[in-house]
């Protein structure tokens, strides 16, 4: 297939599309609220009213406003309906021809939507993720064609380097540098791995990208494979995401059928095939060396680095591992150029980031915002704040991150600013907590998580997380003394500095950040703090 | 273990044509056929172990010792390795689960929105703790780290169907028919 043929497929698809497309979300969140029933009734009404010649009901991916699903959108009329029930369907179709829909109408101009800048999610919620033709119709796979035919592998890497894109899995390592390292390694056999083992509780960006636009991820992987000289790739996806797996499988099949994956892609000597590997529920497998072990069929135990996977990865071959969102950025970077991407965001954090905004907040869902936006803009303007009460803290980065107090809401969201205040970007989970939340309990919640998820290979992590959990329990049971808090801090320090992999190194973060910002809460729970009061003198001496 | 190793040696020496006969499970249980197909599709590659265990759990409901032995023998892996992998991953279960499963998500978003209370009331109603199955084998109560549907927290997955914004009352109502 050449470019003209690819464009012809897109053109054919666009001509076949009806002028009015009724988008009905079919992602996990909305499906759980019976969006498939809504979609069926929308289709039936269309048929009954004989509107099929100009109205088309399309099952699309996530539109972002997951907390108010099922969502139905009519783009041509700038209409968005929220919490739609199957009974509302008929009135929505009738409203197209004039009339009022019984479903609650949302505001597409609300800051939740208006403040977003969509690159990764540019077509999410607008196209049917189960049809490759729809992806091609919006210009999909043209960047891959461009890379293969107009750019050399090193020019492709240059564009990515120029874009300033950093790994979206949380680490923030420069993507271009990673690609260049793998490309430089000797050896014929190289691999590309997409890390779709989104284990962070409170995060669902990757799930949404895979469910809403699987072809974008495949295209990003193919461009990466071309750039580094790999012919095989793996997507390691969580078993907890059955819909994402199903849609990926479909997408791979379709791409193969069109000759976009497989051998001699776009009539070039470039071959690339992708296999799906399904995880089995282990948080540590998000760590790259553990993930490789798991793909090889073993226990997901991490190993010390170096050698890095870029030098010695899957089956001892040089391996490029990037996160779903990182790959999903690539097609746009190749299409628009690295310089364009570098114009977005802050000096050291370029582009946009997708966040899962959840917890005690009015507007729950997925947002994609340019880096550098402040937490306050996200939580208060876009998220609409806490329904009853005030924000107490925002937890970012999952078990590897920390709790940011309300007083620091003006912090800009970028890799370095978040690390500076003791949290991290992580993969992009953002859980808002209101004043009723006990921060000590939150810390224990994360420690319970880490205790259960440690692979057990290194002692600091295996024993340290258990000890920390017990100490936090002791505090919550009002049996601890000030001495225990000092011990807890020492333990945090030790686990952080001596663990083998990222899981252990970051496991103390939720404890450390809550101790830093919500110390009084710990102190009021101490044994010698009668009636929940801070013992005189002690607070001042250790709060500093 | 001894016998497995011996069998595996025997297997290696045998003619490839006899492979099918050599691996067929003596019980004649049809579900082992599913495993055969999966292993064959993966060319009996050892790195397909997790894939095969997924299929086995799907077919049998859990990974009984017999199944682990069968997989180990066919992929020519030591049983210790197969057992090690099966116990490492949370999704694999070595115990049978109930006819109905109720998975309460305890991800952060669900947790701060009351997932813990939903779990507590389910535990009270069923009389079992998380991770257990009722004595009559009807209901298994499981917790999940995060099912990635945080926008509609708190989430409970009833027999594979995701339900969002659950309250204790809704959850109890849902499992009413499951408890005898």
Euclidean distance between CA atoms B22 and B43, whole angstroms: 16
Confidence of residue B23 (pLDDT cuts 50, 70, 90): low
Looking up tokens 């069926």, which residue turns up?
A: A40
For residues A533 and A469, which has the higher predicted lDDT (pLDDT)? A469
Which residues of B are less than 8 Å from A199 in CB distance? Answer: 145-146
Any idea what DSSP says for residue B61?
S
Residue range A263-309, pLDDT digits in tens: 999 999 999 999 999 999 899 999 999 999 999 999 999 999 899 99
* Backbone φ, ψ for residue A297 (5° rounding): 95, 15
- State whether A201 and B108 contact (CB < 8 Å): yes
Residue range A16-39, pLDDT digits in tens: 999 999 999 999 999 999 999 999
Asked if B16 contacts B3 with a C-beta cutoff of 8 angstroms, the reply is: no
Q: Is it the case that residue B9 has pLDDT exceeding 70?
A: no
Confidence of residue A530 (pLDDT cuts 50, 70, 90): low
**Rounded mean pLDDT, A253-271:** 95
- State whether B108 and A281 contact (CB < 8 Å): no
**Rounded mean pLDDT, A339-344:** 97
Which residues of A are less than 8 Å from B92 in CB distance? Answer: 280
Q: Is it the case that residue B13 has pLDDT exceeding 50?
A: no
pLDDT value for B11: 45
Q: Is it the case that residue B7 has pLDDT exceeding 70?
A: no
Question: Hey, is the C-beta of A191 within 8 angstroms of any chain B C-beta?
Answer: no
Which residues of A are less than 8 Å from B147 in CB distance? Answer: 240
H helices of chain B, in order, are 2-13, 19-23, 31-41, 49-60, 65-74, 79-88, 108-112, 115-126, 168-175
How wide is the angle at C-alpha A516 spanned by C-alphas A514 and A520, nearest 5°? 75
Pairing, β A352-359 against β A429-434: parallel
Confidence of residue A532 (pLDDT cuts 50, 70, 90): low
3-state secondary structure of A404: strand
pLDDT value for B179: 82
DSSP symbols for A361-398: -SS-EEEEEETT-BHHIIIIIIS---SSS-EEEEEESG
Cα distances from B176 to residues A6, A492, B100, B123, B163, in angstroms, run 54, 44, 12, 13, 16
Residue range A452-468, pLDDT digits in tens: 999 999 999 999 999 99
Q: Count A/B contacts: CB-CB distance under 8 Å.
A: 137
Residue range A151-202, pLDDT digits in tens: 999 999 999 999 999 999 888 999 999 999 999 999 889 999 999 999 889 8
Tell me the CB-side half-sphere exposure of residue A355, using CA atoms within 13 A: 34
Q: Is it the case that residue A54 has pLDDT exceeding 50?
A: yes
Strand-pair partners of A393: A405, A433
Q: Is it the case that residue B10 has pLDDT exceeding 50?
A: no
Q: How many residues does chain A have?
A: 544
**Rounded mean pLDDT, B134-140:** 92
What mean pLDDT value characterizes chain B? 86
Who among A33, A281, A359 is closest to B113 (CB)?
A359
Burial class (CB in 10 A: 0-12, 13-18, 19+), A334: buried
- State whether B146 and A239 contact (CB < 8 Å): no
Confidence of residue A537 (pLDDT cuts 50, 70, 90): very low
Euclidean distance between CA atoms A351 and A369, whole angstroms: 9
Cis? peptide before B5, omega within 30° of 0: no
- What does the block give as tokens for A210? 């895979």
Residues 252-291 of chain A with CB under 8 A from chain B are 277-283
Q: How far is B95 from chain A (nearest CA, A)?
A: 16
Who among A241, A356, A360 is closest to B150 (CB)?
A356
pLDDT value for B22: 46
Quick one: what percent of chain A has pLDDT higher than 70? 97
3-state secondary structure of A359: strand
pLDDT value for A540: 35
Range in A314-318, A372-376, A393-397, A426-430 with the lowest mean pLDDT: A426-430
Confidence of residue B92 (pLDDT cuts 50, 70, 90): very high
**Rounded mean pLDDT, A70-91:** 94
Residues 349-408 of chain A with CB under 8 A from chain B are 356, 358-360, 364-366, 395, 398
Q: Is it the case that residue B12 has pLDDT exceeding 80?
A: no
Euclidean distance between CA atoms A302 and A506, whole angstroms: 15
What mean pLDDT value characterizes chain A? 93
- What does the block give as tokens for B89? 């991953």
Who among B90, B112, B149 is closest to A433 (CB)?
B112
**Rounded mean pLDDT, B101-118:** 93
């Amino acid at each position: 297939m050449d470019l003209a043929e690819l464009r012809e497929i897109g053109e054919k698809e666009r001509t076949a599309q009806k002028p009015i497309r009724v988008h009905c979300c079919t992602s996990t969140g909305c499906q759980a609220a019976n969006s498939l029933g809504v979609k069926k009734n929308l289709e039936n009404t269309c048929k009954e009213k004989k509107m099929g010649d100009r109205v088309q009901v399309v099952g699309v991916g996530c539109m972002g406003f997951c907390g108010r699903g099922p969502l139905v959108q009519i783009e041509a009329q700038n209409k968005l309906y929220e919490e739609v029930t199957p009974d509302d369907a008929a009135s929505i179709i009738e409203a197209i021809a004039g009339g009022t829909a019984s479903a609650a109408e949302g505001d597409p101009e609300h800051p939740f939507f208006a403040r977003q800048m969509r690159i990764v999610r540019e077509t999410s919620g607008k196209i049917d993720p189960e049809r490759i033709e729809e992806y091609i119709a919006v210009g999909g796979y043209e960047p891959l064609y461009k890379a293969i035919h107009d750019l050399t592998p090193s020019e492709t890497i240059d564009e990515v380097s120029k874009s300033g894109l950093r790994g979206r899995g949380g680490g923030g390592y420069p993507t271009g540098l990673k690609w260049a390292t793998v490309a430089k390694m000797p050896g014929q056999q190289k691999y590309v791995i997409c890390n779709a083992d989104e284990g962070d509780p409170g995060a669902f960006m990757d799930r949404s990208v895979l469910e809403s636009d699987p072809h974008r991820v495949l295209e990003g992987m193919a461009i990466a494979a071309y750039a580094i000289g790999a012919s095989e790739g793996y997507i390691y996806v969580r078993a907890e995401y059955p819909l994402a797996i199903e849609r990926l499988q479909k997408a791979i099949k379709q791409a193969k059928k069109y000759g976009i994956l497989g051998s001699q892609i776009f009539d070039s000597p470039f071959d690339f095939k992708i296999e799906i590997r399904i995880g089995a529920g282990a948080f540590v497998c998000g760590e790259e060396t553990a993930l490789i072990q798991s793909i090889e069929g073993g226990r997901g135990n991490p190993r010390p680095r170096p050698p890095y996977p870029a030098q010695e990865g899957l089956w001892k071959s040089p391996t490029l591992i990037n996160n779903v969102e990182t790959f999903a950025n690539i097609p746009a970077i190749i299409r628009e150029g690295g310089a364009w991407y570098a114009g977005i965001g802050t000096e050291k954090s370029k582009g946009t980031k997708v966040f899962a905004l959840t917890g005690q907040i009015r507007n729950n869902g997925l947002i994609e915002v340019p880096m550098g936006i402040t937490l306050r803009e996200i939580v208060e303007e876009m998220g609409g704040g806490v329904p009853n009460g005030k924000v107490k803290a925002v937890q970012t980065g999952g078990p590897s991150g920390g709790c940011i107090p309300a007083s620091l809401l003006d912090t800009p969201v970028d890799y370095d600013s978040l690390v500076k205040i003791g949290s991290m970007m992580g993969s992009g989970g953002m859980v808002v907590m209101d004043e009723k939340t006990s921060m000590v309990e939150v810390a224990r919640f994360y420690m319970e998580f880490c205790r259960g998820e440690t692979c057990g290979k290194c002692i600091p992590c295996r024993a340290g997380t258990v000890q920390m959990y017990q100490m936090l329990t002791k505090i919550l049971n009002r049996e601890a003394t000030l001495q225990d808090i000092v011990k807890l801090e020492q333990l945090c320090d030790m686990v952080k500095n001596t663990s083998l992999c990222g899981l252990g190194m970051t496991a103390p973060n939720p404890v450390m950040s809550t101790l830093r910002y919500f110390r009084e809460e710990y102190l009021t729970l101490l044994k010698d703090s009668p009636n929940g009061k801070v013992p005189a003198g002690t607070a001042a001496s250790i709060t500093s | 273990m001894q016998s497995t190793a011996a069998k595996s040696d025997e297997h290696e020496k045998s003619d490839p044509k006899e492979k099918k006969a050599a691996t067929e499970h003596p019980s004649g249980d049809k579900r082992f056929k599913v495993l055969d197909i999966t292993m064959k599709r993966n060319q009996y590659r050892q790195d397909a172990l997790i894939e095969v265990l997924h299929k086995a759990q799907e077919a049998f409901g859990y990974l009984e010792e017999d199944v682990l032995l069968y997989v180990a023998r066919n992929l020519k892996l030591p049983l210790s390795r197969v057992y090690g992998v099966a116990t490492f991953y949370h999704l694999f279960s070595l115990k049978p689960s109930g006819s109905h499963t109720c998975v309460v998500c305890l991800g952060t978003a669900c947790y701060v929105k009351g997932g813990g209370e939903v779990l507590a009331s389910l535990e009270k109603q069923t009389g079992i703790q998380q991770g257990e199955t009722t004595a009559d084998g009807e209901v298994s109560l499981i917790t999940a780290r995060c099912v990635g549907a945080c926008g509609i927290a708190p989430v409970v997955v009833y027999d594979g169907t995701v339900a969002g914004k659950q309250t204790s009352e809704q959850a109890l109502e849902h499992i009413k028919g499951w408890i005898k």
